[in-house]
Amino acid sequence: MENLLNPSIQYTDPDTLQFCLPLSDKEFWYCEPNCCHDKLLPESDSTERIIYEMLGGYPEELIRLSSVVAEVKEFISNGRLWCSGDISIDDIDDKEQLELLQAYGYSLDSFSTGAERNQIICESYFETYCTTDFS
């Protein structure tokens, strides 16, 4: 989860604390909290749930506080609390790329660069399949 501290990290959905780290124009690392984890379920009164509720929508604060609040550092360091994974555009066939774009209301010509299009496709893939490596 050290990728969260990378200065190139992007906040792709601040409300859900979804992050993206571009690894190249074709490969992206995505992560977001694993809301199916017992400690993050809505009925949980865990410290992790409290952190998620308080800092959801404030990804910059989450990152900042991780350097000064032990519980927040533990939250972002615990890979079990996050869905994450590297996604390469080369692993998604053309048909599925188009389906993912259309499902999110985009077309192939909605983007000014290939890298931008690739990132949105990979983000859509991540959100659809919520891949994780639990590292």
Residue 130: per-residue pLDDT: 77
Bridge partners of residue 86, in order along the sequence: 29
Residue 38: per-residue pLDDT: 96
Phi/psi at 132 (5° precision): -155, 150
Residue 1: per-residue pLDDT: 79
Q: Residues of 55-82 as b/e, b for ≥16 C-beta within 10 angstroms?
A: beeebeebbebbeeeeebeebbeeeebb
The CA-atom distances, in angstroms, between 46 and each of 41, 102, 105 are 9, 38, 37
Residue 65: per-residue pLDDT: 98
What 3-state DSSP class applies to 8?
coil
How many CB atoms lie under 10 A from the CB of residue 6? Answer: 13
Domain range summary for the chain, segments of one domain joined by +: 2-129
Residue 62: per-residue pLDDT: 98
Residue 108: per-residue pLDDT: 86
Helix (H) / strand (E) element for 80: namely: none
Asked if 74 and 62 count as a contact pair (C-beta separation under 8 A), the reply is no
User: Distance between CA 101 and CA 64 in Å, rounded?
Assistant: 33
Residue 134: per-residue pLDDT: 44
pTM of the model: 0.89
pLDDT one digit per residue (tens) for the chain, 135 residues? 799 999 999 999 999 999 999 999 999 999 999 999 999 999 999 999 999 999 999 999 999 999 999 999 999 999 999 999 999 999 999 999 999 999 999 998 899 999 999 999 999 999 998 755 544
